[in-house]
Amino acid sequence: MKRMLTARNVFVAGLLILLVLVPLYAIVTDNLFPLTLYTRIVILALAATSLNLILGYGGMVSFGHAAYIGIGGYAVGILAHEGIYSGFLQWPLALFVSAVTALAIGSLSLRTRGVYFIMITLAFAQMLYYVAVSLDRYGADDGMTIYQRSEFDGIINLSNKISFYYLCFGLLLATIYLTWRIVNSRFGMVIQGSRSNDRRMRAIGFPTYRYRLVVFMIAGTICGLSGALLANQTDFISPAVMYWTRSGDLIVMVVLGGMGTPFGPVIGAVALLLLEEWLSGVTEYWQIILGPMLLLVVLFARGGIEGLLAGASRG
């Protein structure tokens, strides 16, 4: 029987409780900044969780995942710009366009492997970035302000910071549950099998290309949702959210937290964004510290924070 009270499980449970309590802290201290910061963390954790599905479980190193954040955000932003505020239209459109884009990118890039795959997903994402930059009507380089958040009449008011936070948090938990269900299903087993040995999976009769394409689409769709959330949180959308370094940030979150584990991306997102927040308070040139730290994580802490915790609970 598995032990429940391992260091890792306690840590994850503590982190989740902390995340639940953030709005309470904001109310008590009458300081809304932590709430804004943590809403952003939760939204990016959602994006990282979707990347984990293909990167951690599927072994597909997509270096263009931030493109879907941009697509989801622009779906909300463009509709709002044209005077359509209903979330019932905006969000499904965000998901739909993300899914179609992921299908198109995936069907081309999954024909390749390894380093080709990394570079191709990067190149396609950068192409979408340039498309966003050329959208003169929608702010081009500078992006555009979204003057009204998505409307879900009678269900939830997104302008209320606390209910928006809990919406994001709920969606994050739902996504983690979904990921867990997917990877433990027969479908997910095929994906994981294809990560370990794709040739063998095909030899025993699985058309792995189709399986991988479907999971690639699911991941892109969920990431599009996080884009819709992010646009609502910042009331703003610009090409910068889909710049390729953002895709890099997402990979860092997944690997830093521990890839191929359900809560790893959440841990990674919290750790990376808090670290950034802290370092940027210490020095203006904080990336000069963060960069080498990433290199050190790669060299010495391969399993990420999850891996360290799992090691601690074994020892």
Partner 1 sequence: MLLLVEQSLNGVQFGLLLFLIAAGLTLVFGIMDLVNLAHGSFYMLGAFFAATFAALTGSFLLGALLGLLATLVVGMALDLIAIRKLYGRDHLDHVLGTFGLILFFNEAVRLIWGAGGMNLPLPHWLNASVTILPGIQYPAYRIAVIVVALLVALFLYLLVMRTRVGMLIRAGASNREMVGALGINIKLLYTFVFGLGAALAGLGGLMQAPILTAQIGMGENILILAFVVIIIGGIGSIRGAFIASMLVGLLDTVGRAFLPDFFKLILSSAAASTAGPAVSSMLIYLLMATVLVVRPEGLFPAASK
Q: Identity (one letter) of the amino acid at 34? A: P
Q: Is residue 112 within the footprint of partner 1 (CB under 8 A)?
A: yes
Q: Is residue 202 within the footprint of partner 1 (CB under 8 A)?
A: no
Q: Is residue 133 within the footprint of partner 1 (CB under 8 A)?
A: yes
Smallest distance from partner 1 to CB 285, Å:
5
Sign of CA dihedral 78, 99, 220, 110: negative
Nearest Cα residue to 69 out of 40, 41, 49, 98:
98
Q: Is residue 280 within the footprint of partner 1 (CB under 8 A)?
A: no
Q: Is residue 119 within the footprint of partner 1 (CB under 8 A)?
A: yes
User: What's the rounded Cα separation, in Å, for the pair 94 and 72?
Assistant: 4
Contact 107, 213 (CB under 8 A): yes
Nearer of residues 87 and 106 to partner 1, judged by Cβ: 106
Contacting residue, 111, 181, 200, 210, with partner 1 by CB under 8 A:
111
User: Which x/- pattern, by CB under 8 A, does the window 236-275 give for partner 1?
Assistant: --------xx--x--xx--x--------------------
**Cα atoms in the 13 Å half-sphere on the side-chain side of 237:** 32
Using the CB atoms, write b or e for 6-42: b if 16+ within 10 Å.
Answer: eebbebbeeebeebeebbeebeeeeeeeebeebbbbb
Nearer of residues 181 and 202 to partner 1, judged by Cβ: 202
Q: Is residue 22 within the footprint of partner 1 (CB under 8 A)?
A: no
The span from the first CA to the last CA of the chain, in angstroms, equals: 18
Question: Beta-carbon neighbour count of residue 213 at 10 Å?
Answer: 18
Contacting residue, 11, 38, 57, 63, with partner 1 by CB under 8 A:
63
Q: Is residue 278 within the footprint of partner 1 (CB under 8 A)?
A: no
* Residues facing residue 86 across a β-bridge: 151
Encoded tokens for 89: 């239209």
Smallest distance from partner 1 to CB 303, Å:
12
Element (H, E) at 242: none
Q: Is residue 297 within the footprint of partner 1 (CB under 8 A)?
A: yes
Contact 22, 38 (CB under 8 A): yes
Q: Is residue 282 within the footprint of partner 1 (CB under 8 A)?
A: no
Stretch that binds partner 1, among 43-51, 127-135, 212-220, 260-268 (CB under 8 A): 127-135
Q: Is residue 298 within the footprint of partner 1 (CB under 8 A)?
A: yes
Nearer of residues 188 and 260 to partner 1, judged by Cβ: 260
Q: Is residue 24 within the footprint of partner 1 (CB under 8 A)?
A: no
Smallest distance from partner 1 to CB 74, Å:
13
User: What's the rounded Cα separation, in Å, for the pair 284 and 38?
Assistant: 22
In the complex, the residues that contact partner 1 under the rule CB under 8 A are 55, 61, 63, 108-109, 111-112, 114-116, 118-120, 122-124, 126-127, 130-131, 133-137, 244-245, 248, 251-252, 255, 285-288, 290-295, 297-299, 302
